[in-house]
Homo-oligomer: A and B are copies of this chain.
Amino acid sequence: MFVCINERPADNPKGCCKAKGGVEVRDELKLQLKKLGLSKSIRANNSGCLDQCEHGVTVVVYPEQVWYGGVTVDDVKEIVEKHLVGGEPVTRLLLPDQPHLGDQKK
């Protein structure tokens, strides 16, 4: 899984995932995965811009290609327990565009 930690200039109207807490979300994911002994099988990795700046913090889980937006540190436990362990995406955090469901916007 990839967590955007891209940084944009402070005056960019879209904002950026770094300013919205990308690094903290990644660190919390790593911590929760470690607690559950999942660090070897699931990697919480950094990524550059995932092109969803206005919806940040953006997280994408592969290979199932589930995209989350507006993720905070407080959401991490739910993503790990419900999705990564339980196999059920956290519906309330899903971005409108989900490639695995087809492009729903256009």
Q: With an 8 A cutoff between CB atoms, is A99 at the interface?
A: yes
Copies of this protein in the complex:
2
Instruction: Give min CB distance, A51 to chain B, whole Å.
Output: 7
Report the bound CA distance from A43 to B99 in whole Å.
14
Report chain B residues within 8 Å CB of A47: 2, 45-48
From B49, B63, B99, B100, A45 is in contact (CB under 8 Å) with B49
Report chain B residues within 8 Å CB of A63: 62-63, 65, 99-100
**Interfacial residues, chain A to chain B (CB-CB below 8 A):** 2, 43, 45-51, 62-63, 65, 99-100
Please name the 4 residue pairs, one residue from A and one from B, whose CB atoms are nearest each other, closest first.
A46-B48, A62-B62, A63-B65, A45-B48
